Amino acid sequence: MIITFDVGNTNIKFALWDGDNLVGDWRVNTKRDLSGDELGFMVDGFLHLAGYSFPQLEDMVVASVVPPMRPALERFSNKYIKKPPIFVEGHSQKMLKIEYSDPRQVGADRVVVSIAAWHRFRQSLIVIDFGTATTFDCISPEGAYLGGSIAPGFRLSAEALFQRASMLPKMESFYNTKSAICKNTVDGINSGLVLGYTGLVEGLVWRIAKEMGTKPKVVATGGLAGLFANQSDVIDEVLPNLTMEGLKIVYDEKKW
């Protein structure tokens, strides 16, 4: 069994694999000052609830965009899994050719979701990851990572609005809508944010596809992928565990 970690600026997501079977996945808030033992205590609790324990784990595979957490991740793995963690880096993995001016600038999470999507579909792709930032990653029909775009994440945009506009109520959840003319403030905020962000997604997908010169399949992942897949028909498929799948693929192929 292995455990895979996606360490982002907002959330840490981790999943437990028994062979090719995903037997558990969890999401917690990112805390940059978390110690290795605190991480161990937290993970142990989730494993115990699922009926598993640390001695069953053979390896830990990590994609991280939070460098300050690397020492804690290393201490956690060395102490509780008895092995150093396997960090998947965008520039050093051997699954996708990176056509970026400086491959070291590509986040490991962006490369890992691209690997998983390419492994599934083997065609030109746009992979949208709705996270702290929303990333649009492009893959050629031959399986090369072409680059992409980065936009402020939906929740980051919403939080900026609530922080700057003191009269507006803060919303914790959002919903699909077709109306841009709203009769109350809550619906108006939801409409402006959801329809506005949908316009961003659709506009970037259209421009990217035009530049690629193909008809790419558009797949989405991340916490809000379902919301925007229901809102817009530019998203062909939602794959919530794409990052975890990519880490597992890299591990199985021994190409990190």
For residue 143, what is the enclosing H or E element?
A: none
Q: Which of 6, 25, 102, 109 is catalytic?
A: 109
| Tokens matching residue 197 | 């962000």
Determine the Cα–Cα distance for residues 27 and 223; give it in Å rounded to an integer: 10
Look up 102 and say whether it is catalytic: no
**DSSP string of 146-212, one letter each residue:** EEEEEEE-HHHHHHHHHHH-TTSPP-S-------SS-SSHHHHHHHHHHHHHHHHHHHHHHHHHHHH
Burial (CB count <10 Å: 0-12, 13-18, 19+), residue 111: buried
Catalytically active residues are 109
